[in-house]
Structure 1
Amino acid sequence: MSRNRKSSGVRGPNSALTEFLKNEGITEGFRRRREAQASESPHPQQERSTEPENEDISEDPEETVSPAGARIRRGVATESDQEEEAIRAAGRAKRRDDSDFDPEFSDDDLDANGIKKFGEEDNCVTCGKVFNLTVYSRYLRDQRGYVCETCNETIKAKERNAKRNQMSSRKKRKKIALALLDKQVVRIPKLQDICIKKITLNIDDVEALGDIGQVNMNKISKILSKNRSLNNSTVSLFLNPNLKSLEFWDCSNVDSDSLNRIASYCPNLESLTLFMCGQLHNDNLKYYTTNLKSLSELSLNGPFLISDTVWQEYFEQSGSQLTKFEVRNTHRFQNDSLISLLENSGRNLTSLRLSRLDGLDSKDVYDLIPHYLEPSKLEQLEISYPFQEDLVTDDLLINILAITGETITHLNLDGCSNLTDQFITDGLAKFCPNLTHLSMKNLDQITNEAFARALEEYSAVNSGGLISVDLTKCTGLGDEAIYSLLKHSGHTVVEFSINSLSLLSKDFLLQLFTEDHHPYKKGLKEKLEKLESNGTNENNEENDNNETPSYYPKLSFPFLTTADFGFVRSVDDEILELVGESCPKLSILEVYGNNRCTFRANFRKDLMVIGRQGDEV
């Protein structure tokens, strides 16, 4: 029984050749008609002369008319035949995998060229052994011949080893690059570090080990936080009733219920640090208020779910026992929250850190800070990246330092770009005798001359020197300011950053790290002495036209460990070598953005230079 099927109008894919011929009007039916016409009319020229109607229909002498009335151009048909043949030849060449394929080549030419066929015997071009050719025999183009199976296996083994070495080198470069980002050197790890890493990979079974020590638990916690592996199931492994201090540096995968376990399992906590705690909300802070009776140090980064009202309630109930408070990255810590903190905890605070708090938008509230601080009690102060730059002024910092500057050891004013020379000369240089850590990123209104004078005066107040100094993007500072700073603190500084100080000259850096008995510095010193002693008009005119160079005696940096010279364009390969020689304990040097620092620089092997132009890892 037959079924009538209607065409669905869906066709399968056509090859490129079929589609090309179809577009040109060349079909199989047309070919059959042309062949039939050619067989019926052996002399097509005579027939066309006896048929004037066809000539009238086809005005173009290059066209002919088929019996069906379709016009086909001879030239197009001829070109299409040639293109068709070329396409077919290219296909055959591709299948043969021979770029030198000749369409007129035949198998008879094999014997003429001395090339063996499959199944015949041939000599291996590598070892000379006689073997039978098969379809699996390898042909070596460079030696123009086949190899036997034994030599083929040897070649395969070499290729596998080369690929294995390539993958091993790639993994090694990746490992070095990851270590470089962490400012570490790839070396043989300690047995303790290997064990800790193994534990982190099997963190779910860590309870089977028993007590492994709080120090090691803190290391494991940091590794998990770095890998974003701290979650609801692993957080309870670090909690015990005897714990006094707890630090979680990445709580992004820890929900509210798990954060409540901290207060349930560790009621005797005295110090709590929770960073990236975006899931910490009002109920958690209220629960901490009732359960953590001994908590005196609280550091939170990103608690943007805690409202202004709950902050005030917390300070009213538990603020009297707080001695260290840190809050960052939240817009809900507002003016009333800071006032409540100062009223309930201001007299007891030894550390106050406020950073990126967009809810604090009142200058009058900031001005209240010095009125609630206990004289000579605050040790660490950070007011960084305020909502508006005019909220933190010179007068505010001078008043704070006048009250509690005697005991301050850590001062961080990053992003307070409204501060000027007045803060340096009337505040920092007069009231901070015990300061060891100073960070002033983006303070671009401080000038070179004022900073240099202030540091000279500061030497009489602070004779110990600074340990950590960060002057990133203090773009107004130049040679005199940096030399005054290093002259005061060069013998004590451990961490030092002059990133983006474009006013520093290469001549200054050369003198800073070059011995005074070097011929270059001797000649410079003699030149300056000659200019000072010679007072003729001729020399005065020369001094007016040419800037008088400065002389800087060499300074020593016995404890400098980490330095950032990024985007200081005067730093080049020569400076890198001098820095490496002059700083024996320097282990990390960053030179990002200095396109004249290349791989040609020679320095100590134990010195890690990060950010050189053309570095390959």
Structure 2
Amino acid sequence: MLYNNNYNTPEAPQNFFLIPLPDSLPATFDEVTETTLNTPGLIKETASTVLNTSFLISSGGTCLAASSSSASSSKKSVCGPKSALTSFLEERGISAQEIRRRHMNQYSRSRGPSSVQQNLAISFDHVNQSSVASNSPQKDDSGSDIKNSVKVRVKKKNSDDTKSDSDGSDNPSSIFCVMCRRPLPNNMLMSDIDPRAPKCSLCWSILSKKMKSRKGGVKRMKNKCIVAGTIRQTTHIPTLQDICVKFIGKNIKNVETFGHIGSKALNIICSCLCKLRLLNEETFRLFVEYPTTSLTLYDCAKLTRENLKSIGWNLPKLVSLTLEECGQLDDEILKSLSNCCPLITRFCLNGAHLVSDEALSSFIASRALTEFEVSYNSNIAERTVRALFKEGNKLSKLCIAKCANIKDYCFSGRLDSSCLSALTYDGLAISSDAYKILNRASSEFYSLKVVNCSPLVENSLPIINKILPKLTSLELDLRIFSSVDKIKAFLNELTESTRLEKLFLYHCAALDDGMLCAILKENAGRLTSLTMSEGTELTVGSLSLLSSCRLLEKLDLSWCGRVNNEIVASVVRKCERLQEVALWGCHRITESLCAYTKGRVDIKGAMFA
């Protein structure tokens, strides 16, 4: 319809307009738009009417046959009220076609002059040269030639052209998708096209689905990991109590009272407040307002003397009391607690450097303690120790740490330790007599911890070796042995222990492969915590046996030079309960191990260059 060689004196059919054009054929979309809009005789309707018009151009540039779709579009020209933004854009002459034209020109310039013909928005389809050459030059009503006519077709914005553009058969000069090499549809907004890497809607949807699946997979694997072919939960899911405690800690200033809550919940709240450094005079009243049998204050640094005295006044039925960082506590306050709280059987003092040996011994003698812990007090000495081990006492757990005046002479004489089942010495200048209480310890003795103490004398070694078969928990600094031979003798005795569940060995440079294999052979099925720091003599062969400890929850291999990624990965893979691994000073550990164990195990101390 647009071109027919049999027209001798063509007449414009319905919806066609005769438009004179200049002699030169426009080469770009800008020139065509400017020429058609400024040419006399053109029915200037709207930009959409011009862009949805097919033109017939003669070689002489005298006329243009245009087929308009205004008739069909006029039927659909029912418009609602215009918004303020639409009115503003129309006043400024901004339209979607203008934006598309600018984007197309920008894209054409970015591709360079060699690809301009492929990126033009207007396609120049040459007429069949053989049919044109066979006919003589013809004249229209105005006498113009149409011998070398070409059809200039502006892309239509309708469904038919969209289909033809999608398969690329009717629009060979469109912008092509970088992924599937198919031309982009003409009705696609240029704001949705990336000039550097244009993609069609199909490729965009496929790419977005892949990205969503990857993100979802990472998110799902944060909560689960595959161990021995099974999926297990690794991240901690907070309980309702944890959520409530966290909320209370952040809003403690708005809390009027805790009410009647359990001692365990109260201790958890106090721990949260102490970590936030919010335990002070105002918040302290919440913990002594209602009667309770257990009170744990992890940080008493901001409490006054009156606050500490009020513990005994308000909580007379206390059974367990723990005071840490209690520098304000003195003999007067301790005496008040002793008089007001006669039922205390578990007492822990940390940092009470003002308390004297006489006052503490009087407090202990007035009651039957079952658990006692004291640390960072240079005043207590022999009187306190003798009060602890008086005849008929029921002391089962004892911990003495960082008390400079506790010497061996404090343990001289006959002391009753028949109920003792757990003992901790930390930072004491003891070597002989202090260990004699183990000879008369309970048959159910299960835990021994000796760290940062003076070296043992000869007669103390048999005492420790004697209780080894009973122990389920042993924490020992091997520097308490004065020679390497004594260390090896002790480790040989340790290989016969068959009940160990927690084993902590520090500075174990004398530990070799044979000893480690013997220890693991007897206790691998029970160990839940294992520490072997500075095991410089351990090789890859013995370290690989750690994966046989299937119940392991915590592992410390700090300063073991031969530990590598494969050993730790094997332990992580086979020990399903493992939660924490300490690798301080292990220079063979690389970042790939942390990537492998991320979300499964907490790796501490791994340093990378």
| Smaller-chain TM-score bracket | 0.5 to 0.7
Identical-residue share of aligned pairs (%): 26
Aligned partner of 1:373 in structure 2 is: 416
Cα deviation, residue 590, structure 1: 0.9
Aligned partner of 1:441 in structure 2 is: 477
What secondary structure, in the 3-state scheme, does the structure 2 residue paired with 1:430 have?
A: helix
Task: Provide the TM-score with structure 1 as the length reference.
Answer: 0.57
Aligned partner of 2:580 in structure 1 is: 588
Aligned partner of 2:445 in structure 1 is: 408
Cα deviation, residue 573, structure 1: 1.2
Following the alignment from structure 1 to structure 2, what is the Cα–Cα distance between the partners of residues 228 and 356? Answer: 25
Supply the AA of the counterpart residue of 1:606.
R
What secondary structure, in the 3-state scheme, does the structure 1 residue paired with 2:280 have?
A: coil
Q: Is 1:259 aligned with 2:308?
A: yes
Q: Is 1:500 aligned with 2:534?
A: yes
- Confirm or deny: 8 A CA contact 2:347 2:372 kept in the other structure: yes
Following the alignment from structure 2 to structure 1, what is the Cα–Cα distance between the partners of residues 250 and 597? Answer: 37
**Aligned pair partner of 1:562 in 554, 563, 567:** 554
Following the alignment from structure 2 to structure 1, what is the Cα–Cα distance between the partners of residues 409 and 475? Answer: 25
Supply the AA of the counterpart residue of 1:353.
C
458 and 479 in structure 1: CA distance in 2 versus 1, 3 angstrom threshold? closer
Following the alignment from structure 2 to structure 1, what is the Cα–Cα distance between the partners of residues 552 and 485? Answer: 25
- Confirm or deny: 8 A CA contact 1:407 1:432 kept in the other structure: no
Cα deviation, residue 410, structure 1: 1.7
Aligned partner of 2:564 in structure 1 is: 572
What secondary structure, in the 3-state scheme, does the structure 2 residue paired with 1:223 have?
A: helix
Number of equivalenced pairs: 396
- Confirm or deny: 8 A CA contact 2:421 2:447 kept in the other structure: yes
Q: Structure 2 matches for 1:271-350, cutoff 5 A?
A: 271-316=320-365, 318=366, 320-343=367-390, 347-350=393-396
Q: Is 1:471 aligned with 2:530?
A: no
Following the alignment from structure 1 to structure 2, what is the Cα–Cα distance between the partners of residues 611 and 127? Answer: 57
Task: Provide the TM-score with structure 2 as the length reference.
Answer: 0.58
Cα deviation, residue 213, structure 1: 3.5
Following the alignment from structure 2 to structure 1, what is the Cα–Cα distance between the partners of residues 508 and 460? Answer: 14
Following the alignment from structure 1 to structure 2, what is the Cα–Cα distance between the partners of residues 340 and 190? Answer: 43
285 and 185 in structure 1: CA distance in 2 versus 1, 3 angstrom threshold? farther
RMSD value, Cα = 3.9
Q: Is 1:491 aligned with 2:491?
A: no
Q: Is 1:364 aligned with 2:409?
A: yes
447 and 483 in structure 1: CA distance in 2 versus 1, 3 angstrom threshold? farther
Cα deviation, residue 492, structure 1: 1.0
Q: Structure 2 matches for 1:538-553, cutoff 5 A?
A: none
Q: Is 1:234 aligned with 2:283?
A: yes
What secondary structure, in the 3-state scheme, does the structure 1 residue paired with 2:316 have?
A: coil
Q: Is 1:392 aligned with 2:435?
A: no
Following the alignment from structure 2 to structure 1, what is the Cα–Cα distance between the partners of residues 305 and 571? Answer: 50
Aligned partner of 1:83 in structure 2 is: none
Aligned partner of 1:547 in structure 2 is: none
Supply the AA of the counterpart residue of 2:420.
L
Cα deviation, residue 595, structure 1: 1.5
Supply the AA of the counterpart residue of 1:441.
D
1:339-362 deviation digits (Å, cap 9, x = unpaired): 44444x7733212211100123x4
Cα deviation, residue 480, structure 1: 3.0
Following the alignment from structure 1 to structure 2, what is the Cα–Cα distance between the partners of residues 433 and 244? Answer: 36
Supply the AA of the counterpart residue of 2:408.
K
Following the alignment from structure 2 to structure 1, what is the Cα–Cα distance between the partners of residues 509 and 279? Answer: 40
Supply the AA of the counterpart residue of 1:607.
V
Q: Is 1:217 aligned with 2:211?
A: no
Supply the AA of the counterpart residue of 2:427.
Y
**Aligned pair partner of 1:609 in 594, 603, 606:** 603
232 and 185 in structure 1: CA distance in 2 versus 1, 3 angstrom threshold? farther
Aligned partner of 2:239 in structure 1 is: 190
**Aligned pair partner of 2:514 in 480, 483, 498:** 480
Structure 2 unaligned runs (5+)?
1-92, 103-109, 112-189, 195-221, 223-232
More helix by share: 1
What secondary structure, in the 3-state scheme, does the structure 2 residue paired with 1:372 have?
A: coil
340 and 253 in structure 1: CA distance in 2 versus 1, 3 angstrom threshold? same
Following the alignment from structure 1 to structure 2, what is the Cα–Cα distance between the partners of residues 447 and 474? Answer: 12
Following the alignment from structure 2 to structure 1, what is the Cα–Cα distance between the partners of residues 261 and 293? Answer: 17
Structure 1 unaligned runs (5+)?
1-120, 131-141, 144-149, 155-175, 177-183, 514-554
Q: Which of the two has higher C-alpha Rg?
A: 2
Following the alignment from structure 2 to structure 1, what is the Cα–Cα distance between the partners of residues 516 and 457? Answer: 17
Following the alignment from structure 1 to structure 2, what is the Cα–Cα distance between the partners of residues 411 and 417? Answer: 16
1:254-293 deviation digits (Å, cap 9, x = unpaired): 2211111211111011111111111111211010111111
- Confirm or deny: 8 A CA contact 1:366 1:392 kept in the other structure: no
- Confirm or deny: 8 A CA contact 1:409 1:437 kept in the other structure: yes
